[in-house]
Amino acid sequence: MPLEIIRIPVLSDNYVWLVHEPDSGETMVVDPAVAPPVLAEADLRGWEITQIWNTHWHPDHTGGNAEIKAATGCTITGPQAEAARIPTLDVQVSGGDVVRLGAVEARVIDVPAHTAGHIAYHFAAEHAAFVGDTLFAMGCGRLFEGTAEQMYGNMRKLEALGEDTAIYCAHEYTLSNGRFALMVEPDNLALIKRVNEVTAMRERGEATVPTTIALERATNPFMRASSVEELAARRAAKDAA
């Protein structure tokens, strides 16, 4: 059976992902900013949380780790390069490693730039990737601890996952990202159509993620950047907007 993936909105614009593997009964949490809504959602569904997977160390991605672990006894997996900044980690992983939820495998991908040791998790058989703050719908993460060259490389790595790959990012930034993207590519018809759709969705109070690689290739100014220099210029302009 396929994975069941539930979006949990928390804080002002974060999404925590609850991922259930029906055959084994295992349930995993991606980047729990806080614990209570996550524990409540799992309890509502009768799911037992057995794992947490972190993509990077920022508190709005790890803040619920300790409380969820105390409540469930789950195992916490995260980036080896950031283990010193995530004291709750039980398992340290880096690019090329394989992690499992029940019998379903995910490959770890190194995607540094937003933070120095940021990772993503790719379920190839499920056509799904959890990317934290590296790739957003029509955007990318700020370069807090890395370089435009790294982020450009990340775009290529994620692009290579295939157009039908669903991208589960950690924030509802889509509308503001789309407005900036229109400044970069005002004549991009796919982008114009998408921003109109996103605007209507937000007016209805609907979430706009997950996205897909196909959508990002058509409308994301950072994935569409033709060079490191162009990505760097776009990121600087977005930061200043």
Residues with active-site annotation: 56, 58, 60-61, 114, 133, 171
131: tokens are: 């990317």
SS3 content of the chain, % helix, strand, coil (to 5): 35, 25, 35
Task: Specify the DSSP element, H or E, that contains 151.
Answer: helix 148-159
Q: For residue 84, give the nearest of 73, 92, 76, 96 by alpha carbon.
A: 92
70: closest CA among 25, 38, 100?
A: 38
In sequence order, the β-bridge partners of residue 77 are: 53, 91
Please tell me the distance from the alpha carbon of residue 50 to that of residue 101, in angstroms, as a whole number: 9
